[in-house]
């Protein structure tokens, strides 16, 4: 889901916010709005693209001093994250339970076994990350998926993954029998104010996998 928000600089500032199925549908709706009012768009694309920002310009209405086209509003298209996420301790318990449930697959399973391909691939990636063979955060998307995080949720900054990998390796060596509550507390204590609840859930799962990966044979 993506949310299109249009703010028009009228006598009484008008704000409309409408959710759409995806970015393309939201962008088509914005273009329809622009064409209907005979406006032009100036796009401001961030890197990485997460929230698309636009300036609405009326070329027929120029500023009296600069003679430049007048800006008559702004628009944004951003991921629309709906629904609540599980609490941090609950996420930690689920992550640890998932790992326990799939350890037999790791030790005895094969990719040819029914339902084994995904857990084996994820656990191999977690092991490699825990040993600094892969870039930190390589298997975050899969961990976030297991945590129930929306695909539209922004990915944390790379420095967050680099920092938390050191934390995970340290915890695996100093606190090998970490409880779910302790895991949730440890991860949360190393996160910045810019990290959302959804990102926290994904990061807890990811750290749990890396802790397991440190000692995985």
Domain that holds residue 50: 2-79
Whether 12 has a pLDDT exceeding 70, the answer reads no
Task: Reduce the DSSP state of residue 91 to 3 states and report it.
Answer: helix
Cis preceding linkage at 84, omega within 30: no
Residues forming beta bridges with residue 70, ordered by sequence position: 58
CA distance 24 to 30: 10
Question: What tokens were used for 154?
Answer: 């922004």
Cβ-contact 214, 168 below 8 angstroms:
yes
Entry pTM: 0.64
Residues 17 and 74 in one domain: yes
Question: What tokens were used for 90?
Answer: 């609950």
Q: How confident is the model at residue 61 (pLDDT cuts 50, 70, 90)?
A: low
More confident residue, 4 or 213: 213
Whether 130 has a pLDDT exceeding 90, the answer reads yes
Q: How confident is the model at residue 10 (pLDDT cuts 50, 70, 90)?
A: low
Residues 36 and 125 in one domain: no
Question: What tokens were used for 57?
Answer: 């310009």
Query: What pLDDT was estimated at residue 193?
Result: 86
Residues 182 and 125 in one domain: yes
Total number of domains constituting the chain:
2
Closest CA to 8 of 51, 54, 50, 47: 54
Residues 95 and 74 in one domain: no
Residues 58 and 105 in one domain: no
Question: What tokens were used for 19?
Answer: 């959710």
Residues 43 and 127 in one domain: no
Question: With 0-12 CB in 10 A as exposed, 13-18 as middle and 19+ as buried, what is 213?
Answer: buried
Asked which of 66-75, 93-102, 185-194 is least confident by mean pLDDT, the reply is 66-75
Highest mean pLDDT among 22-26, 61-65, 116-120: 116-120
Q: Which residues of 67-78 are buried (b: 16+ CB within 10 A; e: fewer)?
A: eebeebbbbbbb
More confident residue, 106 or 64: 106
pLDDT in tens, 195-210: 988 999 999 999 999 9
Number of helices (H), then strands (E), in the chain: 7, 5
Residues forming beta bridges with residue 69, ordered by sequence position: 62
Q: How confident is the model at residue 135 (pLDDT cuts 50, 70, 90)?
A: very high
Q: Give the per-residue SS3 of 135-193.
A: CCCCCHHHHHHHCCCCCCCCCCCHHHHHHHHHHHHHHHHHCCCCCHHHHHHHHHHCCCC
Whether 47 has a pLDDT exceeding 60, the answer reads no
Residues 41 and 98 in one domain: no
Task: Reduce the DSSP state of residue 116 to 3 states and report it.
Answer: coil
Question: What tokens were used for 172?
Answer: 């695996």
Q: What's the average model confidence in pLDDT over 47-58?
A: 74
Whether 40 has a pLDDT exceeding 80, the answer reads yes
Residues 118 and 71 in one domain: no
pLDDT in tens, 145-162: 898 887 778 899 999 999
Q: What is the mean pLDDT of the chain?
A: 86
Examine the fold and report which residue of 79, 114, 142 is the final residue of a domain before the chain moves on: 79
């Amino acid at each position: 889901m993506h949310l299109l928000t249009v703010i028009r600089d009228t006598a009484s500032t008008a704000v409309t916010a409408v959710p759409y199925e995806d970015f393309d549908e939201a962008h088509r709706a914005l273009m329809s709005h622009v064409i209907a009012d005979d406006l032009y768009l100036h796009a401001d694309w961030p890197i990485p693209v997460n929230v698309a920002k636009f300036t609405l310009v009326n070329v027929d209405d120029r500023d009296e001093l600069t003679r430049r086209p007048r800006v008559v509003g702004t628009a944004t298209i951003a991921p629309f994250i709906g629904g609540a996420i599980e609490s941090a301790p609950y996420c930690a318990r689920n992550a640890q339970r998932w790992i326990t449930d799939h350890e037999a697959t790791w030790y005895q399973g094969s990719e040819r076994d029914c339902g084994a391909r995904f857990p084996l691939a994820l656990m191999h990636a977690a092991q490699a990350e825990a040993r600094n063979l892969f870039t930190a955060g390589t298997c975050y998307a899969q961990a976030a998926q297991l945590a129930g995080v929306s695909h539209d949720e922004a990915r944390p900054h790379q420095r967050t993954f680099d920092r938390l990998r050191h934390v995970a390796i340290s915890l695996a060596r100093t606190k090998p029998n970490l409880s779910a509550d302790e895991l949730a507390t440890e991860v949360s204590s190393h996160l910045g104010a810019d990290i959302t609840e959804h990102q926290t859930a994904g990061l807890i799962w990811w750290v749990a996998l890396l802790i397991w990966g440190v000692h995985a044979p």
